[in-house]
A and B are shown apart, each in its own frame.
Chain A
Amino acid sequence: MKALLAPIDYLGFLARSLAGSPDLRRTWPRFMAQLWNHGVGALPVVIITSVFIGLTTAVQTTYQLMGVVPKYFVGMGVGRLVLIELAPVLTGFIVAGRSASAMAAELGAMRVSEQVDALEVMGIDPYRYLCLPRILATCVGLPVLVVVTEVVAVFTALFISARMLDVPAAAFTYGVTHFFMLRDFVGGIVKALLFGLLIGTSGCYFGFGVSGGAQGVGRATTRAVVLSAVLILLVDFVIALIFFKT
């Protein structure tokens, strides 16, 4: 029964965190701090991952298409694959592993040490104070990180294709730009926005629900990451149906 009610509880938590007056004057500084932490802070690992996404995708695409179709199709394959699928999903997984766990652990520790209760008795809405800035930060931060991933991955792929894979830079660039479709880019960004929403909500949801001390915090952290990953895959499929089904 509890498992059946969990999705309702989760959505109720999300609604509760986003509902009501955001009180911009007070929320803004906390939002910026979280954006720095979960957005800018994730940049190094996102860039490293993007480089390898670009390298591997270029090698794999060349391996599959070389000799079958003209060389500029390598650029098309890499560009569209990165924009539609790899950049949003892999960046989503990175941010889920990094931010959902951090949020669950941080809020869980605050719950265990009665800091969340302290907010409530002071008349401060803990959802507005703690959850809203975090959820907004991942919503705004993830699409930006996805764009960074796309740019870095495509340029890395261009570099390795020209240097090692016998695909001229002009052909690669032609493939990327000629077959570029705005729908691919928008679809990827919409995915990132939703992934950000789910990652922030999952981290805060499990952090807020912690009971049972340090062990409870550990459990919450694991659950936040696992649920974020599963929801990313689920939403990825739904968006694929909506945006890309022919």
Chain B
Amino acid sequence: MIRVEAVSKRFRDTVVLDRVSLEVPDGTTTVILGPSGVGKTVLLRIMAGLMAPDEGQVFYDGRRVRFGRFADNRGLTGGLGYVFQSGALFDSLTVAENVALPLQETTRLSGAEIRRRTEEVLQRVGMAESAGLFPRALSGGMTRLVAIARALVADPRCIFFDEPTTGLDPAIRERICAMIEELREHGERTQVVVTHDLEAASLLADHMYMLRAGKLVRADNVRKEDYEQAYP
């Protein structure tokens, strides 16, 4: 279980998160909904240990995340799957090398096993054909799919998705939604998705929250009218 406890974050005079608390049960998909600039990514980054809050704590199975201390967090936030909105692929590595990286650097698997797993996960996201390409040759949607493959390859217990469907064509958007839904149905992993896409959120969420004026509000079964009213 991931527990966020009274987390606050401000940038200069703007309060982005105001004593936000959240519990993400194991094996569920939690969606945090809200328009751009409301602080969803900030909350996600704090949950992943990438950004320190001004106040508050984050716990993984009761163990506190120590922000800015990579070595201390390796067993907690290290080894997460995190799909960045930009993809954050390494320019100097091919698609296959990008996907294989977590296995090469954090496990003692043989080269053959790493190749097998990489091919398998690229097949799963439909990117096996592009294994030899460099990220600069990929479209935005393809980049996002490779980022998902990289997040899945080490079989993490928890995956964070930062705006997984933003700016994509309908076909790839559907493919990504189907993939997240499939992972959710298998109950394999804990998933946290931040998005402004209400349709995708409703499809994917076990638990849904809206982030508004720095506060997190429970919003299961939120309707389009409620969402539009919440963010006029």
Q: Which residues of A contact B (CB under 8 A)?
A: 20, 26, 110, 113-115, 117-118, 120-127, 129
Contacts and interface: CB of A to CB of B under 8 A. Distances in A.
Interface of B: 45, 48-50, 70-71, 74, 77-82, 84, 86, 88-90, 101-102, 104-106, 150, 154, 160
Contacts of A125: 70-71, 74
B105 A118 contact: no
Contact of A26 (B48, B70, B104): B104
B78 A117 contact: no
A123 B86 contact: no
B17 to A, nearest CB: 18
A26 B105 contact: yes
Contacts of B50: 117, 120-121
15 contacts: A113-B88, A114-B88, A115-B88, A115-B89, A117-B82, A117-B84, A121-B49, A121-B77, A121-B78, A122-B78, A122-B102, A122-B105, A122-B154, A125-B70, A125-B71
Contacts of B82: 117-118, 121-122
Given A123-B78, A125-B71, A118 B84 contact: yes
A20 B49 CA distance: 21
A122 B158 CA distance: 11
A125 B74 CA distance: 9
Nearest to A114: B88
A127 B50 CA distance: 15
Contacts of A117: 45, 50, 82, 84, 88
A117 B84 CA distance: 9
Contacts of B101: 122, 124
Contacts of B102: 122-124
Contact of A123 (B74, B88, B150): B74
A115 B71 CA distance: 18
Contacts, number: 64
Nearest to B106: A123
A127 B70 CA distance: 10
Contacts of B81: 121
A30 B219 CA distance: 48
Contacts of B77: 120-121
A120 B68 CA distance: 10
Nearest to A19: B71
A121 B105 contact: no
A124 B105 contact: yes
B182 to A, nearest CB: 22
A110 B93 CA distance: 13
B40 to A, nearest CB: 15
**Which of A20, A113, A127 is the most central at the interface, judged by chain B CB atoms within 10 Å of its CB?**
A113
Contacts of B150: 122
Top 4 A-B pairs ranked by shortest CB distance?
Answer: A123-B78, A123-B79, A114-B88, A118-B88
B43 to A, nearest CB: 15
Contacts of B70: 120, 125-127
Contacts of B71: 20, 125
A129 B101 CA distance: 11
Contacts of A122: 78-80, 82, 101-102, 105-106, 150, 154
Given A120-B49, A124-B101, 18 more contacts: A113-B86, A115-B90, A117-B45, A117-B50, A117-B88, A120-B70, A121-B77, A121-B78, A121-B79, A121-B82, A122-B79, A122-B105, A122-B106, A122-B154, A123-B74, A123-B79, A123-B80, A123-B106
